[in-house]
Structure 1
């Protein structure tokens, strides 16, 4: 099984890892893609920290690949799904921003509408 995880913060990544740790095995691959504006050094640093969390928390998974990309998050994740031929997409319900609403975020909504494979939306912990 090949999972594609969309990460944007340490908190969202931890929630995704909580979901995957009971599912992904030593035979599986998890590709974790974080999306940040290439000119925003703080956002890129936050994304790198999120990817580090995934690498550590998913140590028992066969292969964990990480990547920081730029662009519209939903478009970037849909492209990544096709690039790696993922079987399942795992994302947080909304951005990892502590000020985000509890509603389903725009990226999650767009992926649910556009993806041609299963999308799992994990709850994002309250800060």
Structure 2
């Protein structure tokens, strides 16, 4: 049985670097690209109009599908048939949950490499995944 590699992919340059790294480094592995549609939470979510959520969610899913189609094209250039998935939620939580439930062996993700105040204010999906992941994580910078 081959390894299962999870690559969180949002179309950004760091996620593209992570995908390239995974395809080159784990050439015989089963690779899944995961796009996470961020879901509002907390105080902000209380003021969302429920009727507005469906079109916004559909648009976000369509955007995610377009981004993952680009990832599949990159994988095809490497001769790899890429599995793709779209999920909704808090990105770091969804990534870790996916790794737990789908028997992922390794997560390969890109990092914007934010430091100092920027990281404190914006948080770091990569850092949270590294801290919470039940499997090894490779961070590509």
Q: Does residue 140 of structure 2 align to residue 122 of structure 1?
A: yes
Aligned partner of 2:114 among 70, 95, 102: 102
Partner of 2:50: none
Which runs of 5 or more structure 1 residues have no equivalent in the other structure? 95-100
Which runs of 5 or more structure 2 residues have no equivalent in the other structure? 40-52
1:36 Cα deviation after fit: 0.8
**Secondary structure at 1:58 match in 2:** helix
**Which structure shows the higher helix fraction?**
2
Q: Does residue 72 of structure 2 align to residue 55 of structure 1?
A: yes
Task: Tell me if the contact between 2:10 and 2:35 (Cα under 8 Å) persists in the aligned partners.
Answer: yes
CA distance in 2 between partners of 1:18 and 1:75 (Å): 23
TM-score for both structures, normalised by structure 1 = 0.76
Q: Does residue 35 of structure 2 align to residue 34 of structure 1?
A: yes
Task: Tell me if the contact between 1:13 and 1:54 (Cα under 8 Å) persists in the aligned partners.
Answer: no
Partner of 2:46: none
Task: Tell me if the contact between 2:33 and 2:83 (Cα under 8 Å) persists in the aligned partners.
Answer: yes
Partner of 2:61: 44
CA distance in 2 between partners of 1:89 and 1:66 (Å): 14
Partner of 1:14: 16
CA distance in 1 between partners of 2:75 and 2:15 (Å): 11
Q: Which runs of 4+ in 1 moved over 6 A?
A: none
